[in-house]
Structure 1
Amino acid sequence: MIGRYLAPLLAALALSACSTGALPRSAAVPPPAATEARAPVTILISIDGFRPDYLGKGNSPMLDALAAGGVSAAMRPSFPSKTFPNHWTLVTGLRPDHHGIVANKMEDPARPGEVFTMATEDPFWWNAAPPLWVTAEQAGVRSATMFWPGSVVNWGGTRDREWPNDLEGGTRPHDWQAFAQAMPSEQRTRALIDWLRRPADARPRFLALYFDAIDTAGHRFGPAAPETAAVVAEVDGAIATLVEGLRSIDQPANLVIVADHGMAAASADRVVRLDTMLPAADIRIVESGVYAGLFPAPGREAAVEKVLIGRHPHMECWRKAEIPARFHYGTNTRIPPILCLADLGWRVVADAAAQAKATSLGEHGYDPTLPDMAALFIANGPAFRAGATLPGFDNVDVYPLLAKLIGVTPGANDGTATTFDGVLTR
């Protein structure tokens, strides 16, 4: 199926490569049209769960070409290497410990009885740090987001807890789409092109796009499965559709293509059961899986710590204040008192019932420095030099890069703008 989209473009790439000896950067960045000198737009693309080593295996010719004609790296996610914490890091430049989205599932002592999940849109949970589209809108830079986690939130606003549909204040992207997993990858890219077909005064200058299919396949089948490789090809075809769409409307673009984390092979028999270590009534687990965040039962704190804190077969547990410094994690009030982190490929579950549900063949959330957790980074466009490979860097550095590309002053962040100094053309 993807050949239908890639054949004309790859033929052009091959012809150019033969004449110049290298893949041209213009593969992703078409020249301005004669009738309208369009300024480059910036497009941030997340391919959830895309490991850098998925490239170069024959399934991703478009992404391979963009990497060869631009800048690429194996990027380190923030801890925990989960979807929502890292997507919020990419657009705020803050580590989860600082921006408040510390897990895919969490609690807050200021909201007893409530639980944050990946469907939560109440601004209360998100308001600690403005995402880039809010900074852009406030600076007069029009933005548009397609499915980016958190982009439907009325950031900075308030929501009445008794009347949850009542929102006051706040800022969203000028254009945004709520997540709909059933929407095909190619259709998502076509939506961006439609936004860019608008007249100049109604056209976004910063766009964000999200693909979830590779993460879903990696969980279900494992990172090395042929089914996962087939979905890599599908998403690569959607990226090719985007590139060709930009070419068709003569729209120059700086593409920044990232992943939130990698993926590690897992199995149902690599599980640490907490109920084999202490009575179930002694703890309350907020989130479990690759790691477990838990509260000791009142009066049982010392007993729980005596059993859990320290190194165990296939797992290590820490008091919140003693989580290793390399994780930059442990000060936020939303982090539970004890964190237990599984070894690569293992999971931490409450009991036999939870073990029976732990059937996925791929997982993430582990130590971000592990190679299997590395995340894709590709940048291609008029702002980037061709054929550059960067050493690994922390994903907090993406935010100041994006702010520079769209011409806004970044908010306070944990990243550094100097990471990309040697690969920018301006």
Structure 2
Amino acid sequence: MFADGTEEQGMGRFRAGMISAVAAVLMAACQSAQNEVPPPASLLSPQITETDAAPPVAEAPLVLMIGLDGLNPPMIDRWDAPNLKALAARGVRAEAMRPVMPSVTFVNFYSLATGLYPKHHGMVENYPYDKAADEQFDRATGPQEERWWQGEPIWITAEKQGLPTSIMFWLGSEVAHDGVRPTRWTPYEHNKPYQDRVDEVLGWYDAPEAELPRFAAIYFDRVDTAAHYFGPGSDKAKEAVAEVDGYVGQLVEGLGARGLLERTTVIVVSDHGMVWVDPAKVLDIGQFLDLTALNVPQFNGPYGGSNHPFLHIYGEGEALEKAYQGLKNFDEHIHVYKRGEMPAHYHFDHPTRGPDLFLVADPGWSVRNANLGGWRAPIPGQHGYDNLHPTMAATFIAAGPVFPEGEMTAPFENVNVYLMIACALGIEPAETDGDPAVVEQVTGGRCPAAR
């Protein structure tokens, strides 16, 4: 059972039935690796020859997940990204990966880690408010407080089954779950140079075989930062895509140089897309919100009066109903929903953290409260909008033993990625909201749904 006591119908409870089949697939993939087509030249420089490389062995499978914040799929096609394209050519790329709602960073990177919707893992916003505790997530201390991070991340699942893991900067990796932590983890350092991040991760793979991270993850914020402050179609965003593409190339090249690429599943994911924000499309909704009776977490802090793509509104009684009645017909470009009446694809009605009212603007639009201080002009790029809108789409590219070669797959939800990783590692997954049929389709039948 999940935190809200519900059982999801039709969504994955992906159990041990897949494990024996997966293990056979992985062993066969490792034993035949030397006969497979080598990765594209753009990913390996210099080329690793049979003479130079370590002899292929049927060792345990490895997974490396690379998180590229803010990378919308069209960015890869619009600009030069040879390493991402080469990885897709020898694996699978999704037309789009659908983020969960709201389409922001903490929420989605944690859904990728747990395979859960926000209503089950509790991160319903970057800095969620818990109504029962009357407490808001503190950005300084929250990353280390287990109570905020519900569900079981994939690295905890792996550690519980004896697999060493190494995590750099992934959301939720700074807390222990029932006393279990990754073998290696790194507190977030926003200013840590990206090249140092790459070098450190590759150093993990210089360890003896028994100490290699069976699952590893690394995060880069570069594209998101550039797209926020200069716009998703700007030259700065273009430069950011080229930069992170280069880091992906280095990581893949480094695995190849160590003789590990053929047994490593490399998964590149993003959390959401980005859209241009028009300064003329900011709506003032302060008149409808009695902040003496209602709590709007987005309005807290030094920039509370600035524009927001969505609002969580907590309260009850007359003040809440007045807010709902005033907002629902105020403007056609904002949409307001009561708790329990939100669109089915939102999945963030958490029992203590889900909002009593949720307001979301159309992409490119935003709301503000002019009664509050801290106003600043809208930054050029924004996200957090409806997760089905194309501008919010995330990236998924994966190559390795459990993925077919050179395929484009239909869009799918990011809650399915946890199950793909569990399959690639050959471990028993925890309960998730993923769909085993989707996992089977994306992996070309290599991760069969339990029958």
CA separation of 1:25/1:99 partners in 2, compared to 1, >3 Å: closer, same or farther? Answer: farther
Confirm or deny: 8 A CA contact 2:137 2:148 kept in the other structure.
no
Offset, 1:137: 0.4
Q: Which letter does structure 1 place at the counterpart of 2:376? A: K
One-letter code of the match for 1:88?
A: Y
SS of 1:326's equivalent in the other structure is: coil
Q: Which whole-Å CA distance do the structure 2 matches of 1:171 and 1:269 have between them? A: 49
Q: Is residue 65 of structure 2 the alignment partner of residue 44 of structure 1?
A: yes
Equivalent residue, structure 1, for 2:324: 305
The residue number in structure 1 matching 2:31 is: none
Q: Where does residue 335 of structure 1 map in the other structure?
A: 354
Aligned-pair distance for 1:387?
Answer: 0.8
Partner of 2:124: 102
> Which residue is equivalent to 1:264?
275
C-alpha distance 332-311 of structure 1, shift in aligned 2 (>3 A): farther
Does structure 1 residue 407 correspond to structure 2 residue 426?
A: yes
Aligned to 1:6: none
Which stretch shifts more, 243-252 or 111-120?
A: 111-120
101-110 or 48-57, which moves further after superposition? 101-110
Matched, 1:366 2:385: yes
What runs of 5+ residues in structure 2 fail to find an aligned partner?
A: 1-36, 300-307, 447-451
Does residue 242 of structure 2 align to residue 221 of structure 1? no
Q: Residue 294 of structure 1: CA displacement?
A: 1.3
| Structure 1 residues 97-133: Cα deviation after superposition (integer angstroms, max 9, x where no partner) | 111111112221342244344751211111x311111
Tell me the residue number matched to 2:294. 283
User: What is the CA deviation profile of residues 272-321 of structure 1, one whole-angstrom value per residue up to 9, with x for unaligned ones?
Assistant: 21224455545331126210111347652332232124562320111112
- Aligned partner of 1:145 in structure 2 is 167
| CA distance in 2 between partners of 1:358 and 1:294 (Å) | 23
Relative to the length of structure 1, the TM-score reads 0.85
Distance change (3 Å), C-alpha of 1:139 and 1:354:
farther
- Other-structure match for 2:110: 88
Q: What amino acid sits opposite 2:62 in the alignment?
A: V
Separation in structure 2 between the aligned mates of residue 177 and residue 301 of structure 1, nearest angstrom: 42
Deviations 1:38-65 (A, max 9, x none): 5441011110100000112342111111
DSSP-derived class of the 1:322 partner: coil
Residues 83 and 249, structure 2, Cα contact 8 Å, conserved in 1: yes
When residues 104 and 251 of structure 1 are mapped into structure 2, their CA distance, relative to the original with a 3 A threshold, is same
Determine the C-alpha separation between the residues in 2 that align with 1:56 and 1:114: 39
For the pair 1:67 / 2:67, whether they are aligned, the reply is no
Give the equivalent residue in structure 2 for 1:356.
375
Q: Give the drift of 1:326.
A: 2.2
C-alpha contact 1:282 1:300 (8 A) present in aligned 2? yes
Identity across the alignment (%): 35
CA contact (8 A) 1:106 1:287 kept: no
| Structure 2 residue 148 is the aligned partner of structure 1 residue 125 | yes
Structure 2 CA distance, aligned partners of 1:101 and 1:84? 7
| Contact 2:42–2:82 under 8 Å retained in 1 | no
Secondary structure, in 3 states, of the residue corresponding to 2:367?
strand
Residue aligning to 1:9: none
1:186 Cα deviation from its structure 2 partner? 2.5
- Which of 217, 240, 249 lines up with 1:208 in the alignment? 217
- CA shift, 1:37, in A, is 5.5
CA offset digits 1:234-285 (Å, max 9, x no partner): 1111111111111211112210110011111113332121224455545331
Q: What is the rounded CA distance, in whole Å, between the counterparts of 2:423 and 2:43 in structure 1?
A: 20
Aligned length: 391
- RMSD over aligned CA atoms reads 2.4
Note if contact 1:145-1:207 (Cα within 8 Å) is conserved in structure 2.
yes
Asked if residue 249 in structure 1 is aligned to residue 258 in structure 2, the reply is: yes
Distance of 2:438 and 2:175 partners within structure 1: 30
Supply the distance in 1 between the matched residues of 2:290 and 2:101 (Cα, whole angstroms): 29
Match for residue 285 of structure 2 among 249, 274, 280: 274
Give the partner amino acid of 2:176. N
* 2:61–2:424 contact (8 Å) kept in structure 1: no
TM-score with structure 2 length normalisation?
A: 0.81
Distance 1:118 1:421, change over 3 A: farther
User: How many Å separate the matches in 2 of 1:224 and 1:187?
Assistant: 28
Which amino acid letter does the alignment assign opposite residue 190 of structure 2? Q
* Equivalent residues of 1:38, 1:251 under 8 A apart: no
Give 1:421 shift: 2.6
| 8 A Cα contact 1:190 1:245, kept in partner | no
What SS class does the counterpart of residue 296 from structure 2 fall into? strand
Do the aligned residues in 2 keep the contact of 1:67 with 1:378 (CA within 8 Å)? yes
2:18 is aligned to none
Choose from 375, 400, 416 the match for 2:435.
Answer: 416
* Equivalent residue runs for 1:177-216 within 5 Å: 177-216=186-225
Q: 1:136 aligns with which of 132, 155, 158?
A: 158
- With over 3 angstroms needed to count, the CA separation of the structure-2 counterparts of 1:354 and 1:375, relative to structure 1, is farther
